[in-house]
Amino acid sequence: MSEVVRGIPLNWFIILSSILFSIGVMGVLFRRNAIIIFMSVELMLNAVNLLLVAFAAKWGDASGQVFVFFTMAVAAAEVAVGLAILVVMYRNSKSTDIDVLNKLKG
């Protein structure tokens, strides 16, 4: 490589975000505990946040970082409602296993 080494290449961030996102997808797919599934979703959101900040730094634009704020706001709201749903689910079935949610009959 002939170019002068300056800073971190952008595609390193892309690859790191891809790895974190795939780990999150894996967690959503094979854990049965609903809380762990929520945590995997948070992991995926953070991978996307990292990518947004990397692109914002690459192009010198602060809009990407402001988008990260909105992602955090939506994630906070999602977690609040999701954990409330989880508490209701535990109250009804004494378990947070998502396999007990297979009957949507009321």
Nearest one of 26, 30, 28, 32 to 99, comparing CA atoms: 32
Nearest distance in Å: CB 106, other proteins: 15
Pick 30 or 105: Cβ nearer other proteins: 30
Nearest one of 93, 87, 82 to 42, comparing CA atoms: 82
Pick 66 or 105: Cβ nearer other proteins: 66
Q: How many CA atoms lie within 13 A of 44 on its CB side?
A: 14
Q: Which of residues 65-84 bind other proteins (CB under 8 A)?
A: 65-66, 68-70, 72-81, 83-84
Q: Which of residues 28-47 bind other proteins (CB under 8 A)?
A: 29-33, 35-36, 38-40, 42-43, 46
